[in-house]
Amino acid sequence: MGEQPYRSATELVDAMAGGEVSAVELAEEAIARIERYDATLNAVCVRDFDRAIDAARAADAARARGDARPLLGVPMTVKESFHVAGLPTTWGIPEFKDFVADEDAVAVERVEAAGAVVLGKTNVPLVLGDVQSYNAIYGTTGNPWDPGLTPGGSSGGSSAALAAGYGALSIGSDIGGSLRNPAHYCGVYAHKPTLGLLPLRGHTAPGMPVLPAESDLAVIGPMARTASDLALLLDVLAGPDPLGSGIAYRLALPAPRHTELADYRVLVVDTHPLIPTAASVRTAIGNVADALTEAGAKVERDSPLLPDQADTARVYMHLLMSTLGARYPAEIYEHTRAAAAQLDPADESLAAERTRGTVLSHRDWLAADGRRAVLRQRWSELFAEFDVVIYPVMPTPAFPHDHSPMGSRRISIDGADHDYLDQIALAGAATLPGLPATALPIGLSEDGLPIGVQAIGPMYGDRTTIRFAELVEREFGGFTPPPLDS
């Protein structure tokens, strides 16, 4: 079963059911591990250890009575951006450092109802707006593979916690790759669900009303160290909000398209027309493509069915920044409006598109939404011929912490500098059309850092992409523990 800190949730449930270990022992071990390593990593920014031990005792008592809930006694963490009753929710915003939630998010209600033991909350960047995880309240989270590197963001505290063995599961969120890039950087698993599959209520910025609202792009989703644990946690989390569409609807996700790797039809994409990927990333993806071919899968390296990825990135930047810009302070919004007016109409750079998107008119938003509908239909046509698309998560492995002003940051890709925010174009491939995407580790770079890919699937094909990740894990391996003690 391997080292106990790195056992999967499925293994832990079996171990507790067999009397090998108790929920209290697992909680105490996870707490001890946090206390040992987190002075360096700073992944768990809000500790809830007393209530975790109480929940573990209750889980042991429930199991003794014959209770067999799916997460009974499993230690896990929750991203700081989710409301947990009695704990602060700040989103890293200093003005809200004393804000304490008085009710649980729906996702938290569901994991606790399933018997999970919540150890605490994991760190995030300011307003969840970065592929790093640092803020003025809680400080900087380091990557367990090298604390001087980013663990990703905005769910970077969760990915670091998983890689460090702080519990078997976590829940995060994603609008710009915030589930997927942390998984890639830390060598763990995450699943960005089909848009609307999991209820968002309670994943709410402090000071905002907690409502059963829907989002245009954002999702919440499971994170784990194995693909099968993603499926386990997805089943707990999924389903409509009982205060919203759950009044009338029930969820019935289709089964995976295939149960054997050789039956999958796979399109492999290793770069992007507007942001290159590093040689280490392309090599890792190429190795997986070769291995899939050897395993009998039908693998293609190109297809005319793939929607225009440059157009996808531009539309994504419009809609993403329109969503984010709506909450900008008036002074910043007006400054951006003036900057957009000065742009050369021929400038189609992603930086220009982000500026335009921030101040998009409703008329132009509807036009962008129409372009999205066309792209979504093209994805549907592609998935009549393919089951999953392997796609880069980020251009490079984890990079050093960079707290310089966002607008001046650059990302170095094989020695060439690129706009820092252009990286999130890779997230938009699945986010714009609302498709499911499972992030899975596929190996290490020449520098010994994790590299992942995202397996994008058809709308509501969440079980198809997760099953694919399970089969890849079984055939070629998955999570590797980082060298925490070296």
Going by C-alpha positions, the residue among 395, 388, 367 that lies closest to residue 452 is 395
Cis peptide leading into 154, omega within 30 of 0?
A: yes
How far, in Å, CA of 383 to CA of 468, rounded? 15
d(CA 313, CA 421): 12
399-430 burial by CB neighbour count: b if 16+ within 10 A, else e? bebbeeeeeeeebebeeeebbbbbbbbbbbbb
Separation CA 293–CA 394 (nearest Å): 24
**Is 269 within 8 Å of 391 (Cβ atoms)?**
yes
Which of 318, 335, 332, 421 lies closest to 371 in space, CA to CA? Answer: 318
Lookup: tokens for 279: 């040689």
Read off the tokens for 185. Answer: 């950087």
Tokens of 322: 């329109």
Q: What DSSP assignment string belongs to 264-304?
A: -EEEE----SSS---HHHHHHHHHHHHHHHHTT-EEES--T
Q: At 143, is the secondary structure helix, strand, or coil? A: strand
Which backbone phi and psi does 135 adopt, to 5 degrees?
-160, 170
Determine the Cα–Cα distance for residues 60 and 74; give it in Å rounded to an integer.
11
Could you count the other beta carbons within 10 Å of the beta carbon of residue 345? Answer: 6
β-pairing verdict for 219-224 and 298-300: unpaired
Cα separation, 265 vs 437, in Å, equals: 16
Residue 10, H or E segment: helix 9-17
Active site residues: 79, 154, 178
Three-state secondary structure call for residue 90 = coil
